Amino acid sequence: MYLEIVTPEATLFSSEVDSVTVPGINGDFQMLNNHAPIVSLLKDGMVKIHTHTQSHLVFDDLHGSIVPHNDDDKILTLTINSGTIEMKDNKVIVLAD
- Cβ neighbourhood burial of 37 (10 Å; 0-12, 13-18, 19+): exposed
Write down the pLDDT at residue 74. 80
Q: Which helix (H) or strand (E) holds 57?
A: none
The residues that bridge with 95 in the sheet, in sequence order, are 6, 84
Q: What is the pTM of this model?
A: 0.80
Phi, psi torsion values for 61, nearest 5 degrees: -65, -25
Per-residue pLDDT of the chain (97 residues; tens, 9 = 90+): 999 999 999 999 999 999 999 999 999 999 999 999 999 999 999 999 998 765 444 444 444 455 555 555 688 889 999 999 999 999 999 999 8
Residue 6 sits in which domain range?
2-96
Phi, psi torsion values for 81, nearest 5 degrees: -95, -35
Read off the CATH number of the domain in which 75 is found: 2.60.15.10
Write down the pLDDT at residue 93. 97
As for how many domains the chain has, the answer is 1
